[in-house]
Amino acid sequence: MANIKEKKGVIGILTGGGDVPGLNPAIRAVTICALREGYQVIGLKRGWAGLTEIVRDSSVDNSDNYQILTEDLVNKTGRTGGTFLHTSRTHPGHIAKNDIPEHLQATYSAPMNDLTAEVIKNLDFLGIDYLIPIGGDDTLSYGVHLYKQGVKVVAIPKTMDNDVPGTDYCIGFSTCVTRTIQMTNSLRTSAGSHERFLVLEVFGRYAGYTAMLPTMAGAANRCVIPEFKFDINRLTELLVADRRKNTSNYCVVLVSEGAMFEGSEMVYQDMARDAYGHAKLGGIGDIVSAQLKELSPKFNNGRRIDCITQRLGYLVRGGDPDAIDSIVPMAYGNLALDLILDKIHGRLVVLKNGRYDNVPLDVVTSIKKFVNIEKRYNQERLRPHYKSFEMQPLFIMTGD
């Protein structure tokens, strides 16, 4: 299958990092438009891993690493969640010795290895003219690296944390917010029945959008986010007051997985790190719950208040995409293909102020995207500000 050049061109597409609803609709949009324009589309499997592990020999079965995409295939998967191309957190520029593909072990034997040269050779072997990575800032940062090495890259932003720089919207965010609201509303019946605090831990390593938007929509009384180290005594005081005001005697707080107490750092499940240097977060919700229970008598006339604690985790990233995560990926896929048809590359397709556009790809590595806490977060009340909505974009907080 190597070096296919008889068609107008070949486009490679991959999905990296965490799965989110909306990836398959994006793959579908790119594929259908590309096929109708005379391009062939190759789906690269398991993110950057498949592109790293290809054996450049036409007699070798590489079906675990890539597949030819057809209209029939993407139509069947386009309405579903997850990614049928599968995904990984592989970073080809940082491959540990034990993870080197078997056919390359004689060539790369250092404790940590850069396989970028192999990636570029594999792209050439497949005859790929343009590469479309779909991912968050980690996946796309390697896309920036490849672009600087001469690969023609057009990128699509994806992450339910909604923290890829340069765009107001990343695929997966709306479904995450929708599910968070739904699940909070389901769990509040138990919190009310038992007159407890309801503490929900949500995604958000460095940016608090997934806690801020559901809280703003009324799903929670308070939220604590990575951008602001909070005082647990103040949070307890506010939640006791919220509970007292509620005729059902309960209240709700959303806790970003990257939230931090004053004077502390992030809470990790363990210190094992992925290829991009990130340790797995998790557990801050349990710690907040324990502290709330311990401190509650101080603000509740000496009486302890129990907590219901739930880590929403993968429940908000599984299943089918909502309406926005069906429409935006379709548009992003078409935008990416339009750039390729115009022979433009080195771009990131984006939504800015409610309109589709594209920006230079290196924005991914040049800035960071956070909640503007001075503008959006009431640090005294530990909740979003509810003001100045006129002329704001759909999801209000854009990292401005």
Residues 253 and 198: beta-carbon distance below 8 Å:
yes
Residue type, 194: H
What pLDDT shows up at residue 2? 46
* Digit-coded pLDDT (tens) for 224-238: 999 999 999 999 999
Confidence label for 281 from pLDDT (cuts 50, 70 and 90): low
Domains defined along the chain, listed by start: 9-171+319-366 (3.40.50.450), 173-316+373-384 (3.40.50.460)
Mean pLDDT of 178-198: 97
What pLDDT shows up at residue 114? 97
* Digit-coded pLDDT (tens) for 315-372: 999 999 999 999 999 999 999 999 999 999 999 999 998 999 999 999 999 999 999 9
161, 163, 325, 362: the catalytic one is 161
Mean pLDDT of 108-116: 96
Rounded Cα distance between 254 and 291, Å, is: 15
Burial code (b: 16+ CB inside 10 Å, e: under 16) for 211-246 equals bbbbbbeebbbbbbbbbbebebeebbbbbbebbeeb
Q: Is residue 4 pLDDT above 80, yes or no?
A: no
Confidence label for 264 from pLDDT (cuts 50, 70 and 90): confident
Which of 3-12, 238-247, 378-387 is predicted with the least confidence, judged by mean pLDDT?
Answer: 3-12
Rounded Cα distance between 385 and 248, Å, is: 25
Q: Is residue 282 pLDDT above 90, yes or no?
A: no
Residues 10 and 35: beta-carbon distance below 8 Å:
no
pTM: 0.93
Residue 259, CA distances (Å) to 202, 235, 251, 369, 378 in order: 10, 13, 19, 16, 15
What pLDDT shows up at residue 6? 60
| E strand map for 55-152 | 66-68, 95-96, 112-113, 130-135
Active site residue 161: yes
